[in-house]
Amino acid sequence: MELVDTHCHLDIEECFPPFEEVLGRAKAAGVRTLIFPGVTQAGWQRMMDLSGRLEGLHAAPGLHPMYLARHRPEHLEELKVLAGQGGVVAIGEIGLDYYVENLDRNVQQQLFEAQLQIALAARLPVLLHIRKAHDQVLATLRRKRFPYGGIVHAYNGSLQQAERFMQMGFCISVCGTLTYDRARKIRKIAAELPRETLVLETDAPDIPPAGHKGESNLPEFLPEVLDALAALRGEPRELVASYTTENARRVLKLRTEG
C-alpha cells in the first residue's frame, strides 16, 4: 500500500530537525510520496534541494497568504523562474485567508492573482489555502479561467462549494480533522464526495489526528486519516488508499514511484 501526503511541511528544518529519521518512519508507514508546499521565499531553496535529491519528495513553492509581511515583489519574479525551470509539481500554498484578522484582503487578492498567473504561464496546478473565502477563490479561478486544477488543502468549505471546485478540476484534500467526532461537517462531506476527487494530507506539523492531540503532527500518521476516511465511507482501506493515491498522481502529474 502506497500513500501520498499531498501537503506536508517536513522540509521546514526547525519543525523537523531529525529529517532523515522522520522521513524513514513515514516511508515505513507506506507514505512513499510527500508534497512540500511553500510558505515564504526563505524556504524554497531547501525544498528544491530535498526534492531534487530524494525519491518521492516534490516541491510546490509559493507565497502563503498569512505571511504578507514577509513577501516582497522580487519573490514573485523568483517564483516565476522556479516555475519555469522544472522540478516543481505545483504552485502552493496560495489563496485567501479571511479567518485571520488584520490580514489585508486586497493585498492577499493581488498576491493570489499574481501567483495564479505564474501557474498559468507554467501550466502548473495549484495548492489552495482557503479559510472563510471559498466563494471569493472560486470567483477568482473562474475570472482567470484557470484550467490546470490542483488541490484544495485541508478542506473546510461546504459540499456545494466542493462540487464547484471539482467541476474546475480540483481534488479535495482531507486531513487529521477527519478523525475527530465533533468535525461533523467535513466528515459528512468526505463520506459523500465521489472517489475521483479525494486525496489525503497531514499538514504536518499541524492538525494532528485525534490519537495524537497535543503533539506535533508527523507524515507517518497519514494512515490514521486513511482509516478514518475508509470507515466513514464504508470502504476497504486498500481501496481508499488506491484511489486517493491515483487521484494525487493524476492532478499533480506525478510519475509512479518505483
pLDDT in tens, 178-231: 999 999 999 999 999 999 999 999 999 999 999 999 999 999 999 999 999 999
Residue type, 43: G
Per-residue pLDDT, 258:
45
pLDDT band at 241 (very low <50, low <70, confident <90, very high): very high
**Euclidean distance between CA atoms 188 and 127, whole angstroms:** 23
Our separate counts of H helices and E strands in the chain read 9, 8
Per-residue pLDDT, 256:
62
From start to end of 1-80, where are the E strands? 3-5, 31-37, 57-60
pLDDT in tens, 135-182: 999 999 999 999 999 999 999 999 999 999 999 999 999 999 999 999
pLDDT-above-90 percentage for the chain: 97
DSSP per-residue string spanning 132-191: S-HHHHHHHHHHHT--S-EEETT--S-HHHHHHHHHTTEEEEE-GGGG-TT-HHHHHHHH
Can you tell me whether residue 129 is helix, strand or coil?
A: strand
Q: What is the mean pLDDT of residues 228-246?
A: 98
* pTM confidence score: 0.97
Residue 34: is its pLDDT beyond 80?
Answer: yes
Residue 54: is its pLDDT beyond 50?
Answer: yes
- In a 13 Å sphere around the CA of 205, the CA atoms on its Cβ side amount to 13
The sign one gets for the Cα dihedral 106, 109, 113, 114 is positive
Per-residue pLDDT, 58:
98
Helix (H) or strand (E) holding 76: helix 73-84
45 neighbors 51 (Cβ within 8 angstroms): no
Domains and CATH numbers, the chain: 3-252 (3.20.20.140)
Q: What is the mean pLDDT of residues 75-92?
A: 96
What is the average pLDDT score of the chain?
97
Q: What is the DSSP letter of 29?
A: T
Per-residue pLDDT, 1:
86
Q: How far is CA 228 from CA 50, 91, 147, 158, 175, in A?
A: 30, 28, 31, 19, 10
